[in-house]
Structures are given as structure tokens and as C-alpha cells.
Amino acid sequence: MKIITSSEKNFCDEAVDCFIKAKKAVALTGAGVSVESGIDDFRSPGGLWSRYPPEEYGSIAVFRRNPEKSWKLFRALGRGLLGKKPNHAHLVLSDLERKGFLRGVITQNIDNLHQESGSENVLEIHGNHRYLQCLNCGDTSKPAASLLEDNSLPRCRWCGHILKPDVVLFGEDVRCYEEINDLLHHCDLLMVIGTSAQVYPAAALPEQVKLSGGMIYEFNIVKTALTNVQGNGSAHSDYFFQGGAASMLRHFRKRLEALTGQ
């Protein structure tokens, strides 16, 4: 595993050169890619889970038993997303897709910022906060503008059931897993950006690519389970871009342009 910082040039050009030669590069993102848009991640110090422990607020069992409690978390999440815009990390990824270097983005995030930055092939494994979901009749609907202000529980327009955001809670099945596996079929380079790689099945995707012979480019401010030595003594990440996702992806993009002219 080679560590790249914004001042490190040799390994970076080596990594960019492999990226150019990749046949099918895909990105997997987590909350860290949106931190520079002003959205707290979950597990860094002061992150959302330090205020709303997931086992107490974030599971489907809690929502069924005590929806008022779940809606405290949902409103905190929603308020944290208000007015947030894509940052350079999102913009670099959409540019790489437009230029044909990247096939798409698998994101664990629900903030819609990849789409707002222009990424087209975005697979949201944990859903999207822009809609509400009725678990009783299956209807999805746009939330009322007043949703975050008032304290009432939103109810389904058809069956009256209490609604939840159209996001995956702990204990629920993830979304678009078939499309994700199709996108990762023959993927020979996975950029893993801003994730602690602790939540499955998303956290298993880098190992899936690695085991089929692909390379892992990890972008994070700290080392994760992917970067540190695994049980068999080898890290999953081939290159570890150490720094904020926005600045490291801009650095990566600049070197790519220098080496390709694109």
C-alpha cells in the first residue's frame, strides 16, 4: 500500500497512470465525501451517531416501536442537509464520469449531492432523503416544506400510516444491490472515498473488487479497516490518498489532466 499526500508526486503519477489504464473504474463513497459540503459524517468525533446512537435511534425496529424517537433523528439528519451543495469531491467525480474515466458512483449517502453535481450513474445503496416512504402501502411522496419545523408525525396520504424517510435503516434491506453488482462486474479499479468501511454490505464491496483482481484507491483523512493490515497481513488499499476528499481529488484530477491533456 502506498501513501499519497498532496505533496507526494511520484506515487500519485504512478496511481494516475494505472487509473488511465483501468478498463472499468467505479467510485464507492461514504459520508466523508460530503463533510466539506458542511454535512457531519456519522462516526468521526462529534458525528451524528455521537448525538443519536444508531442502536437507540437508527433501526427499523425503533421506528416501528417508537416512531417519535426515530423522527428526532430524521429531523436532525434533514436539518443537517438543508441548503448543502456539492463540493469539489463531488464535482471531480461527475467530471471523471463525463470524460469517460469513471463508470458510475455507488454511494452510501442519502444527500443527493452526487446527482446535484452532475453524476448520472449514481446507485444509492441506502436510499435518498428527498422522499418519504409508507411501509404499509408502499407509496412514496415528497415531504411538506414544514416537515422539519413541526413535531407531528407525517402520515400517508392514502392509508394514514406513519411515514419514514425513503432511506435504509439498520435492519432493513439495502437498495439496488443487483445494479451495484452489475456495475462492479469486471470492475478493475474502485475509488473508495470518505467511508469508514464498517457497515455491510457496502463495506464488503472493496474486498469483492480486490478478490477479483481489481485495485483499491482509498481517499480518507484517517486510515480505516481497508488501509490497515488485514488478518492475512495485506491491506486492501493499493493507494491511500491521505487528506480531505475535495483537495485530494482535485490533486488527482490535476495530475490526470497533466498526464492525459483531458
As measured in angstroms, the least distance from the Cβ of 115 to ligand APR is 16
Our measurement of the distance from residue 105's CA atom to the centroid of its chain's CA atoms, rounded to an integer in Å, reads 8
Element (H, E) at 165: strand 164-167
Nearer to ligand APR, 115 or 220 (CB): 220
CB contact at 8 A, 198 and 225:
yes
Nearer to ligand APR, 198 or 212 (CB): 198
Q: Which of 45, 185, 222, 231 binds ligand APR (CB under 6 A)?
A: 222
For residue 88 the three cell numbers come to: 469539489
Query: What number of other Cβ atoms are within 10 A of residue 182's Cβ?
Result: 11
- Asked if residue 126 binds ligand APR (CB under 6 A), the reply is yes
Nearer to ligand APR, 44 or 141 (CB): 44
Residues 179-198, one symbol each (x = binds ligand APR by CB under 6 A, - = not), give: ---------------xxx-x
For residue 159 the three cell numbers come to: 392509508
126 is catalytic: yes
CA separation for the pair 90, 111 (Å, rounded): 12
Residue in this structure with the C-alpha cell 462529534, named with its chain if needed = 46
- Asked if residue 30 binds ligand APR (CB under 6 A), the reply is yes
CA separation for the pair 195, 175 (Å, rounded): 18
Residues 41-80, one symbol each (x = binds ligand APR by CB under 6 A, - = not), give: xxxx--x------x--------------------------
As measured in angstroms, the least distance from the Cβ of 150 to ligand APR is 25
- Asked if residue 220 binds ligand APR (CB under 6 A), the reply is yes
Active-site choice (90, 126, 236, 251): 126
**Which stretches of the chain are DSSP H helices?**
10-21, 48-51, 54-57, 60-65, 67-81, 88-98, 113-116, 177-184, 205-211, 245-260
As measured in angstroms, the least distance from the Cβ of 146 to ligand APR is 26
- Asked if residue 108 binds ligand APR (CB under 6 A), the reply is yes
CA 261 vs CA 90, 111, 217: distances in Å: 21, 32, 22
Query: What number of other Cβ atoms are within 10 A of residue 24's Cβ?
Result: 17
As measured in angstroms, the least distance from the Cβ of 127 to ligand APR is 9
Q: Which residues are catalytic?
A: 126
Q: In the complex, which residues of this chain contact ligand APR (CB under 6 A)?
A: 30-32, 35-36, 41-44, 47, 54, 108, 126, 194-196, 198-199, 219-222, 224, 244-245
